[in-house]
A and B are shown apart, each in its own frame.
Chain A
Amino acid sequence: MSVLTLPAQPGQDTAPRPVPWRRMAWVTWRQQRATLIAVPTVLAAVAVFLVVFGLKAHHDYAALLNCPLDQGQQSNACAKLFSTFNSTDWPLANTVGILVQLAPVLIGAFAGAPLLARALENGTYRFAWTQGLMRERQAIAKLALLGVTLVVLAWAFGELFSWFFQPFLWTEQISRLTEGAFASSGIVFPAFTLVAFAIGAFLGMLLRRVIPALAATLGVYLAVRLGAWALRGQYPVTVVTSNANQFSAFGTPSQPGFAWILSTWYTGPGGKPANQSAVGQLLEQYQSNPHPTVSVGQTLAEHGYTEWNRWIPPSHYWPMQFIEAGWLLVLAVALMAGTVWLVRHRAA
């Protein structure tokens, strides 16, 4: 047996250096390798499906646009196309859409919860946190590197999904502003993914166990989604008008632009609030016996009522995206800061 010599060298006491990003990149890669391989793989598999199915959907949709909307004037081929689109393409797309709603939380939770919790759970934090690089810096590096990666992956995937879903907006009269479509497109989709990741990391550090952190992340994320939905109607982008005819003038098949109507109310002559039941009756009468040339709005006006709507025009999509992504980003950063604080203060 022989044990080799450590040639003597004086010890070095140095001040803390900045985070060595390249080294931490290797460390993060090696420790999170399973996640960093699994997430892109799964996304790629779904992406392949989206591309294949999306090409078909777009092709069908293009053909559909050449058909007249009135069912009585449709050829057999057109009728069949409509039927396929509505009974085959749409349900599948809808299912995919629902699953895509889950994507941010699944990605974020499975990447975020074990990030710190696993080391705490299996004791390897006793190794990692006694190395030369301070534990806070390790945590910051991991959060940043993984966060950026997930945001990029989520954004790319979100764009692909938006392209895929686009034909169905017009056919199903879905606004880009409605919950499902809004949250899975643009920059809000990657923002939600980042928030889920941040929630996962924070709860992992708080609870110190992976499985409970995963479960809690799903719950908290759901609360955030619901909160966002409730909040969305309050963004300072809403418009209040009394011209009900505006809505029908929106959008073309290639640029679907359904508005998001938040609330509708009626006023009577002189601007006073109208008797709801009287208006209700009037509307019912009209619905059961619609006049061929006079619109419902004109009918109401004849009786002295005005319809008011609080709504968001589809052109306000991007401002809304920026507002939502903005506060989601703030939330994510706050959670990550909280995670680093926990790492620093709530030690073993």
Chain B
Amino acid sequence: MTIDKGNSAIEFRLDPDSGVPTYLQLVQQVEHALRLGYLQPGDQLPKVRDVVTSLTINPNTVLKAYRELEHKGLAAGRPGQGTFIQATLEQVTLPELAGLRRTLLGWLTSAEQAGLDEDGIVALFTSGLRDFFKSRPASDGASPADHGTANHRTEGVA
């Protein structure tokens, strides 16, 4: 069955079991779409009410996601019209992506040969990812390591 909303370049979907807050999933999907070129500056993001109707989520969640995108400078709201993309992220072209993917698969093979199982690989990767981004200055305000299934954190409890 086709649900055709029209009017917007992308459609959102939700992964309810990922542990990632809903609004963040929406933000990530927009960023992902920007990287892959599905969204260009000037494109309109899906209308709040359409997202709400198709995903059955709270409109405030969508508003929060769009506000976050505005905060990051990726989108801007036009009163009465909607929210529009106004910047891009570093676009990774598809051949680049394919190359990176091949390298990744090579690394994964090595890790498996070294004796790590899936969870072990995930734990290793996640901690490495976090350390990598922590050591870099915050460039585009992108949130470090909030995604992914592992929730280990050693920041303050406050």
Direct contact of A and B (CB under 8 A): yes
Please report A residues at the B interface, Cβ cutoff 8 Å: 1-3, 5
Main secondary structure of the interface of A (DSSP, over half): loop
Q: What distance in Å separates the Cβ of A5 from its nearest Cβ neighbour in chain B?
A: 8
Q: What distance in Å separates the Cβ of B50 from its nearest Cβ neighbour in chain A?
A: 10
Q: Which residue of A lies closest to B52 (CB)?
A: A3
Return chain B residues, CB-CB under 8 Å to A5: 49
Return chain B residues, CB-CB under 8 Å to A1: 3
Cα(A1)–Cα(B54), bound, Å: 9
Give B1-33 interface residues, CB cut-off 8 Å to A.
3
Return chain B residues, CB-CB under 8 Å to A3: 53
Cα(A325)–Cα(B13), bound, Å: 74
Return chain A residues, CB-CB under 8 Å to B53: 2-3
Q: Which residue of B lies closest to A5 (CB)?
A: B49
Task: Count A-B contacts at CB 8 Å.
Answer: 4
The 3 closest A-B pairs by CB, nearest first: A3-B53, A5-B49, A2-B53
How many B residues have CB within 8 A of the partner chain?
3
Cα(A5)–Cα(B50), bound, Å: 10
Cα(A272)–Cα(B60), bound, Å: 99
Return chain A residues, CB-CB under 8 Å to B49: 5
Cα(A315)–Cα(B33), bound, Å: 100
Q: What distance in Å separates the Cβ of B110 from its nearest Cβ neighbour in chain A?
A: 48
Give B34-66 interface residues, CB cut-off 8 Å to A.
49, 53
Q: Which residue of B lies closest to A3 (CB)?
A: B53
Give B104-136 interface residues, CB cut-off 8 Å to A.
none
Give B53-108 interface residues, CB cut-off 8 Å to A.
53
Q: Which residue of A lies closest to B49 (CB)?
A: A5
Cα(A2)–Cα(B49), bound, Å: 11
Cα(A23)–Cα(B49), bound, Å: 35
Cα(A338)–Cα(B53), bound, Å: 49
Query: What are 4 A-to-B residue pairs whose CB atoms are below 8 Å?
Result: A1-B3, A2-B53, A3-B53, A5-B49
Cα(A5)–Cα(B3), bound, Å: 17
Cα(A1)–Cα(B5), bound, Å: 11
Q: What distance in Å separates the Cβ of A225 from its nearest Cβ neighbour in chain B?
A: 63
Q: What distance in Å separates the Cβ of B113 from its nearest Cβ neighbour in chain A?
A: 49
Cα(A297)–Cα(B49), bound, Å: 100
Q: What distance in Å separates the Cβ of B55 from its nearest Cβ neighbour in chain A?
A: 13
Cα(A2)–Cα(B1), bound, Å: 13
Q: Which residue of B lies closest to A6 (CB)?
A: B49
Q: What distance in Å separates the Cβ of A1 from its nearest Cβ neighbour in chain B?
A: 8
Q: Which residue of B lies closest to A2 (CB)?
A: B53
Cα(A3)–Cα(B3), bound, Å: 13
Q: What distance in Å separates the Cβ of A106 from its nearest Cβ neighbour in chain B?
A: 54
Q: What distance in Å separates the Cβ of B9 from its nearest Cβ neighbour in chain A?
A: 20
Cα(A3)–Cα(B49), bound, Å: 10
Q: What distance in Å separates the Cβ of A8 from its nearest Cβ neighbour in chain B?
A: 11
Q: What distance in Å separates the Cβ of B101 from its nearest Cβ neighbour in chain A?
A: 37
